[in-house]
Structure 1
Amino acid sequence: MNKAVSVYLVGALTTLSIGLSVKSAVAQNTASSTTTQMASASQSAQSPSINLELKSSARASLQALLGKMKQFRAGFEQTVVDAQQNVVHEAQGTLTMTRPNKLRWETTFPDETLLVADGEAVWNVDTFVEQVTVLSQDNAVKDNPIVLLTATDEATWAKFSISELKSASLSEGAGSKGVLRSYQITPKEEGGQIVTLTLTFNQNNDLSALNMLDAQQQVSTLVFNDIDTRFPVAADTFSVEIPDSYIVDDQR
């Protein structure tokens, strides 16, 4: 598995890159320069309040969507590109999550790997070198917006700013359309490994893609298929059985 993915806790789950930006409104010219200055001052005074309301609305909307996603299982195709748009990693596999705080990431291509977050620790199993690396889950997801996929507590959500991006229409069949909704999540504290995470939901309000920009300007894109949000969760889904021959590197 790409090392960055392991360290960021499956951190490279991500959608088709959506380069949307929020543009500020430009005040119209008026006959009086005094009126223009007053309007400008008024706009500046109101902007912080408007921005806070938009962010609060986006956060509530995202929480509602994720709150309905008590569990999630899907196949994925992942592509990681560098700052020069060169493909540096590709993978295929399956992702399984339940709320709160449990996740299982398995790759079948190019190698068979397993990463499990059981709520307390992250277990990264490398079958090629027969080694298991164990990390504290709290440390592994610190300041990583991916944690919001399974976190339910307000203290964790308060660490991130959330904006809803412009919705995009998706044509389906004979003229019918669906709507993709995307949310950009940014850590409030700078200096972390993840700069932004974008979550995209399809017309059925299912998580359909993820896009992550990291501090090295790598973009990891994950697109999901065969999405299932109602399935029996096996008792051993979020546990790891380690063969006696494996080396265990416990970094908790």
Structure 2
Amino acid sequence: MRKTISALALSLLPLWAMADGLSSLEAFMKTAQAGKAQFTQTVTSPGRDGQPGRSKTSSGEFQFQRPGKFSFNYTKPFEQLIVADGKTLWMLDKDLNQVTQRAQAQALGSTPAAILASATDLEGLRKDFGLANAPDAEGMEWVQATPKAADNQLREVRVGFDAGKLAALEILDSFGQRSLIRFAQLQVLPSLPASAFRFTPPAGVDVLKQ
């Protein structure tokens, strides 16, 4: 009986060895070439004078296509769209009737978007981030990514995986503001139509080029 238990334990060792955040992140980057999910984002400002920070919550749909294409379509409480088409990063704010246009290569670098959609393996990601496993929490495996650029506005990014599936993205910026994005109904797909990442500024909006 003891021999049977020992043999079973040894057979599971490779699975245990893979059960960490970095292994889940690497598998996600290599196997998830495209996909979409619903998301909820909670942004919490740092507290002051002993008072807790204020939080704001928004939600919408996230889509990505490797390498370098993604969109965050915010639908609640306000409509906002962020689209990266591989060359240009577009940001549409419907309330302001304004579009911001930036060269994607300059805008993404050491950003959370590089983790989700740009890099294709850990070695590529390590050019811009220091990567390490973080302690498991909330039933998820976590990876901590620290930007290497000295002038980056991010302090750290944490990526959470639930049973190998992308489940959360936590961002702490240099001002102490924390943003937690939780993903749900994730669908990993072979590809998405090119139209998913095609953006044309609506007629009448102000376009700001940066």
Asked if TM exceeds 0.5, the reply is yes
| Superposed displacement of residue 249, structure 1 | 1.4
The structure-2 alpha-carbon separation of the partners of 1:64 and 1:236, relative to structure 1 and needing over 3 Å to count, comes to same
For each residue in 1:34-83, what CA deviation from the matched residue of structure 2 results, as whole angstroms up to 9, or x when unmatched? xxxxxxxxxxxxxxxxxxxxxxx975663233211111211111111122
Structure 1 unaligned segments of length 5 or more: list them.
1-56, 171-179
Larger Rg: 1
With structure 2 as the length reference, what TM-score do the two structures score? 0.79
Aligned residue identity for 1:225: A
The structure-2 alpha-carbon separation of the partners of 1:169 and 1:126, relative to structure 1 and needing over 3 Å to count, comes to closer
- Residue correspondence of structure 1 range 227-238 to structure 2 within 5 A: 227-230=186-189, 233-238=192-197
C-alpha contact (below 8 Å) 1:145/1:196 kept by paired residues: no
- What is the CA RMSD across the aligned residues, in angstroms? 2.2
Alignment counterpart, residue 151 of structure 2, candidates 191, 207, 213: 191
Aligned residues: 185
| Superposed displacement of residue 189, structure 1 | 2.7
Q: Secondary structure at 1:92's aligned position in 2?
A: strand
Alignment correspondent of 1:158: 127
Q: How far apart, in 1, do the equivalents of 2:145 and 2:71 lie?
A: 22
Q: How far apart, in 2, do the equivalents of 1:88 and 1:60 lie?
A: 32
With structure 1 as the length reference, what TM-score do the two structures score? 0.67
The structure-2 alpha-carbon separation of the partners of 1:113 and 1:72, relative to structure 1 and needing over 3 Å to count, comes to same
Greater Cα shift, 231-240 or 186-195: 231-240
The structure-2 alpha-carbon separation of the partners of 1:165 and 1:206, relative to structure 1 and needing over 3 Å to count, comes to same
Alignment correspondent of 1:68: 31
Q: Secondary structure at 1:104's aligned position in 2?
A: strand
Deviating beyond 4 angstroms after TM superposition, the runs of 4 or more aligned structure 1 residues are 57-61, 153-156
Q: How far apart, in 2, do the equivalents of 1:145 and 1:113 lie?
A: 18
Q: How far apart, in 1, do the equivalents of 2:94 and 2:114 lie?
A: 26
Residue 140 in structure 1 maps to residue 107 in structure 2: yes
Aligned residue identity for 2:80: T
Q: Secondary structure at 2:171's aligned position in 1?
A: strand
Aligned residue identity for 2:184: N
Q: Secondary structure at 2:64's aligned position in 1?
A: strand
- Residue correspondence of structure 1 range 1-252 to structure 2 within 5 A: 62-84=25-47, 85-150=52-117, 151-152=119-120, 154=123, 156-168=125-137, 170=139, 180-203=140-163, 205-230=164-189, 233-251=192-210
C-alpha contact (below 8 Å) 1:145/1:186 kept by paired residues: no
C-alpha contact (below 8 Å) 1:123/1:135 kept by paired residues: yes
